Chains A and B, each alone.
Chain A
Amino acid sequence: MEEAQYEIDLGNLMAFDQHHQFASPPASREEIVKETIEQATKLVQAVADALFSLPSTEDPDGPLVKLPEPTTKLPREKPLPKPRPPTQWEVFAKQKGIQKRKKEKMAYDEQTGTWKRLHGYDRVNDDNDIPIIEAKATDEPGTDPFAERRKEKKSRVDKQEGNRLKNLKNAQKAGALPSHIQLAATALPITGTQSQPKRVSKDVLQNVAGMAATATASGGKFDKKLPGEKPLKHEKKYRKYLPAVEGSGMGAIEKQQTENVLNRLMSKHSHQILNVEKAVNMHNVKKEKNQRRQGGQSSNSGKFKANKKSFKKTSKKGPSSSSKGKSK
């Protein structure tokens, strides 16, 4: 009789007594516990009555019972997965009524006379296994048929990869991307150039930023920092101070440096320090620009020509060197 007033959810093994009320406010803890145990035993017994009357199958570990669905509705953890939209091929196949059929994994290879896998490494009709391709009348001379085959294969693979990406994009739009796949943006689309810029790492960027900062006279000391910008790794300019005191070792370095510069200027081959060709080019370009600005008159007459010979002592140099050679 009492069982009827309990609400029982067998799927959750739950029983709920909707009618129980404490007759008087319970005085002590023990009283509450005692009352609870008494009521709970009744409830559990009611669940057990329903549970043990279910048809059971014997198992070595104990009787197994098939539980019904829980009647108390509880929220899901995650949204329901959405069905994947059909791929381009699946749409086409349905339209044409193409049925999927199983293929054998192995096939007989006539070239080698053995059974081989249909796909993958060491497969049937592998391009790598073909030693000779017979020439046809239509063949153009000068083309490598092997290279052509390889190119064709590569283009097929690339096309398939493109199709795959397209299908995945569609799936993403429908919110049904496979759980293990993400579509990540590599870079913004670049128009005009074929090659993509290399990804610059964080460290490299930091270094460049540091270098740019040191370009100011204060070495970036008074520059405003961007939010989140870290302090520079090297705050000041790289500068070497040589010891002021003269002597041997480190002390002699300053003297050596000045001597080096002087020697280069004074030496016989000092003209080689100057890149005459470049200087002449620059001069010509500048001149041309000026002329264009003035009125677009084209004149080749004013152009210098780079002289291979040096300006210095041109007349004397030749004979003197020859005389030297003679004297020796």
Chain B
Amino acid sequence: MIRIKAPKNGRIKRELEKRAPKLVETGKKTLILHGTKTSSVLNSVLTEIHHLKKDNSIKYSRRNDKIRPFESGGETSLEFFSLKTDCSLFVFASHTKKRPNNLVLGRFYDHHIYDLVEVGIENFRSMGSFSYDKKLAPQLGSKPFFAFIGEAFESVDELKHLKEVLLDLFRGEVITNLNLAGLDRVYVCTALSPNRIFFSHFALRLKKSGTKVPRMELVEVGPSMDMVVRRHRQPDDSLRKEAMKMAPDSTKKKEKNVVKDDILGKLGKIYIPDQKVGSVPLANKSKGVKRERREAKVAKGDGDKATTPKKQKKEDSE
């Protein structure tokens, strides 16, 4: 026997609909987690990433001893948390002797782990350690610029992967309309060596340049850190293909009256608007052809005809 189980309450229904797969997706949510042990550096890295992404991220404060990314069986509870919180990005921090200051960045597809990148954090400088004009501080949820510097992002596989993950993590929602006055932050990643990048966050100052395009000036607002790539795991080819599927473009209009023929090639139908023969104005507008005159003429002719028989009648009677 099967029973239909539907929420009895609108709030829950809306919540479930929010989680349902969508044709065009809104921004991804991020889950921020601690491992069994985290250093003070990692703690502040996590809080600052959470701060940067406060509009759509969830930070767990408890330690998780069952989560071990890259290991079999160490990912089930992570996937469960993804399902629970509806997050599709995660940042996981752990500190061990073998891998000190370890940060795992990863993505989910359909609440299963899609890919993973592990980086070590070095030379961390927190937001508090930068002094700048607070008026410049970027606003929450503003659309960021990205700058990737260095050919290693193209040539080295790990960095190419990391670049994609970082872009996905920080880019926020894909938007169509952008307010140019609201541009106020840049994430900059510089490849220092084939396995090390320098990640930093800047505020933008738009200065007048005399032309339409303002002159951009960067002010470092932090956090900034070195990321040393350790392990990474690319998605399966089949999974990647599945995840890269795009929604069919609905904006494309159907082309009317055009048919493709194998032999004849492109064929088109042309419709010529109705020729209004009756209402076409005459080019000749001389007095003689005017309607009143024509009618009058006809009437006159009729009159002549009418009069003549009368006369005849009279004659007959006489």
Q: Is A56 a contact of B200 with CB atoms below 8 Å?
A: no
Residues 209-224 of chain B, each 1 if its beta carbon lies under 8 Å from chain A, else 0: 0001111111010001
User: With the chains together, A79 CA to B202 CA distance in Å?
Assistant: 35
B136 within 8 A of A: no
Q: Given the interface contacts A21-B150, A77-B25, A78-B110, does A39 sit within 8 Å of B179 by beta carbon?
A: no
- Residues 155-179 of B, flagged 1 when their CB comes within 8 A of A and 0 if not, give 0000000011001100100111111
Identify 19 new A-B residue pairs, CB closer than 8 A, beyond the known A12-B146, A52-B213, A179-B21.
A14-B148, A15-B146, A17-B150, A32-B190, A41-B218, A44-B186, A48-B216, A52-B212, A53-B212, A64-B177, A65-B179, A66-B177, A67-B177, A74-B167, A80-B23, A179-B16, A179-B20, A186-B1, A196-B1
Give the chain A neighbours of B148 by CB distance below 8 A: 14-17
Query: How far is it, in angstroms, between the C-alpha of A33 and the C-alpha of B200 when the chains are bound?
Result: 9
Nearest chain A CB to B52 CB, angstrom units:
16
B123 at interface (Cβ–Cβ under 8 A)? yes
Which of B42-50, B237-245, B291-299 is found at the contact surface with chain A? B237-245
Kindly state whether residue A216 has any CB partner on chain B within 8 Å.
Answer: no
In Å, the complex CA distance between A20 and B108 comes to: 32
* Set of chain A residues within 8 Å of B147, measured between Cβ atoms: 14-17, 39-40, 43-44
- Contact: B109 with A179, CB < 8 Å? no
Of all chain A residues, the one with the shortest Cβ separation from B211 is A52
Complex contact B1–A187 (CB within 8 A)? yes
Residues of the A chain whose Cβ atoms lie less than 8 Å from the Cβ of B149: 17, 20, 36, 39-40, 43
CB-based contact A37/B2 at 8 Å: no
Other-chain contact of B180, A29, A33, A65, A189 (Cβ < 8 Å) = A65
**Cβ of A183: which chain B residues have Cβ within 8 Å of it?**
2-5
Q: Which residues of A contact B178 (CB under 8 A)?
A: 51, 64-67
- Determine the residue in chain B with the shortest Cβ distance to A12: B171
Contact digits for B137-158, partner A, Cβ 8 Å, 1 yes 0 no: 0000001111111110110000
- B254-294 residues with Cβ-Cβ distance < 8 A to A are none
Residue of B whose beta carbon sits closest to that of A36: B190
The 9 A-B residue pairs with the shortest CB-CB distance in the complex, in nearest-first order:
A62-B181, A179-B20, A75-B243, A14-B146, A78-B21, A43-B147, A182-B5, A77-B88, A52-B213
